[in-house]
Amino acid sequence: MRHPSCSPGAAYPSSVRVVRRVAAPAAALPAVAALAGTLVLVTGWLPYADAVELLRHTGPVLVFVVAITAYAELCAVCGLFDAAAGIAVRASAGRRLVLSAWVAALATLCTITLSLDTTAVLLTPVVLAMARRTGSDPLPLALTVVALANTASLLLPVSNLTNLLAAPAFERAGTSYVATMALPALAVLAATIVVLALLHRRGITGRFTVTASTRPEDLVLLRTAAVTTVGVVTGFVAGASYAWVAVAGTLVLGTAILVRRRSLVVPASDLVPWRMVVAVAGLFVVVGGAHAHGLDEVAASIAGSGTGLADLARLAAVGAGSANAINNLPAYLALAPVAVDDAARTAVLLVAVGAGPLLTPWGSLATLLWWRQVQRHGDDGARPTWRRTLGQGLVLAPVAVAVGTVTVALTSR
């Protein structure tokens, strides 16, 4: 028997504050990228064979983004965000510093095991709900999520889609991804935690009153979402296809909601960030076309080719700058040839495009997804502004990229 509050068309759980009239940053990017990508294809600037190869490499990335975003929205319908927020709040025992530590730990673990995009989508509504329940400033918590979604994404191949694209390069260089990236990833993570603690020290002190938790609107759906999420995480960690695991999880959860509520509750137009998907797809096509017309030579002349500290720092600066300019995924695709299957250069490039794109809203797909979530689920007047996010990025990105680059240089000798 269905819970009485779970009738068709019922509202979202209390943690989900949908705001439809707030424009996300870089609103013109999808249209510009789509137009540019279309022109590249229609004019034949990207040859057909290259287009097919590009689709083979990047198609699963786009499928994953669509599926995991829809999955997160369905988790919200099931009340999973409310439940997770309640557990973290009770475990903090009324101390905001402990609450902030919980957020950092959750963001780190989620990013390492589920990928940075999943962290941006799944965890952002959780921390916004936690802030509401505790009367805490939501900005430090939300900004912690977007920072760690990027900088904690270097430890495992599954942590970042660029890592998955780069993993074969380490094998060709005679090593493994984890063997090369473990120490740089941990160094970047440690630097991030220190910088965040210093930047947000005023907003994470004091105490709050733990209020009584509310009963889930539908316990069956909540348990289904929890079990399904464990299954999705297990599939990711086991190395199964990210795209198809996310699709399977979405289908399972969507079916459960339809059975219980006779409706998905979420409007179809809100389930998938189509504008972001179109933007990234367009950028992929543009970069692919550029590679077909000499981008490799241009990239090599700008990023250099050596493996000394100065050479690696040069590559890191170019990689981080490119990621902030055109998004980290196409930036990686554009610069991958300059690594030439060298483990140290590939590692530095991953550090640059993983920890560096913290300045622009389109710097990484995770940041774009995070912006979408804070606009949809945040309260009026309590959302991070571009200026506040840029301020954090201007401090954190150079430190994280520099620490990671130096660590790679020291450990690759």
CB neighbours of 413 closer than 8 A, spacing ≥ 6? Answer: none
Tell me the backbone φ, ψ of residue 74, rounded to 5 degrees.
-70, -35
Q: What is the DSSP letter of 158?
A: G
Count CB-CB contacts under 10 A for residue 235. 17
- In tens digits, the chain (413 residues) has pLDDT values of 333 333 333 334 444 444 444 445 555 667 788 888 889 988 988 888 888 888 888 888 888 888 888 888 898 889 888 788 788 888 888 889 999 999 999 999 989 988 898 899 888 988 988 888 888 888 899 999 999 999 999 999 889 989 988 988 898 888 999 999 999 999 999 999 999 999 998 878 888 887 666 677 889 999 999 999 999 988 887 878 888 998 999 999 999 999 998 888 877 777 887 877 888 788 888 888 887 877 777 777 888 788 899 999 999 999 999 999 888 988 898 898 888 779 999 999 999 999 999 999 888 989 988 988 888 877 766 677 778 889 999 999 999 999 999 999 999 87
* Per-residue confidence (pLDDT) for residue 213, from 0 to 100: 64
- The reported pLDDT for the residue numbered 274 is 80
Distance CA 362, CA 47 (A): 27
Q: Which helix (H) or strand (E) holds 65?
A: helix 48-78
Helix (H, G, I), strand (E, B) or coil at 68: helix
- Contact, 88 vs 271, CB < 8 A? no
Burial of 394 (0-12, 13-18, 19+ CB in 10 A): exposed
Nearest-angstrom CA–CA distance, 104 and 88: 11
Task: Quote the distance between the C-alpha of residue 305 and its chain's center.
Answer: 29
- pTM here? 0.81
Show Cβ contacts of residue 129 under 8 Å, excluding neighbours closer than 6 positions: 14, 15, 81, 82, 85, 377
Question: Residue 395, exposed/middle/buried by CB under 10 A (0-12, 13-18, 19+)?
Answer: middle
pLDDT of residue 16: 45
pLDDT at 79: 87
Nearest in space to 82 (alpha carbons), one of 7, 11, 14, 18: 14
- pLDDT at site 21: 40
Per-residue pLDDT, 380: 67
Q: Dig out the tokens for 263 from the structure.
A: 């409706």
Residue 214 is predicted with a pLDDT of 67
Which pLDDT value is given to residue 283? Answer: 81
